[in-house]
Amino acid sequence: MIRSNPTAIPLRASDLKHLQATIEERQKAADATTNPAAAGATSTASATQEERGQSGGPAQPQSAAEQRKKDRAAMSVNERIGL
């Protein structure tokens, strides 16, 4: 296999501003979900437990491949590409 040099992608100032805004939004969202004093945190926590099958009922065994498929399906396009 022949390797080639990576292609440089030019970034404009508007691209950087958009990227910084997206990163800030994600950080705020992550802070809101990790902060227990945030509004609605208790209802979100119970909903995620039910989604994961930890609502107190018997656990359904899942393979790692099935779990990855579910996780990937739950992610947005921007999350999958690392934005």
Residue 76's pLDDT is: 79
Q: Check residues 50 and 18 and name the one with the higher pLDDT.
A: 18
- Please, which pLDDT band fits residue 39 given cuts at 50, 70 and 90? very low
Q: What percentage of the chain carries pLDDT values higher than 70?
A: 67
HEC profile of the chain: CCCCCCCCCCCCHHHHHHHHHHHHHHHHHHHHHHCCCCCCHHHHHHHHHHHCCCCCCCCCCCCHHHHHHHHHHHCCHHHHCCC
What are 61-73's pLDDT values in tens digits? Answer: 678 888 888 888 8
What are 8-24's pLDDT values in tens digits? Answer: 888 899 989 999 999 99
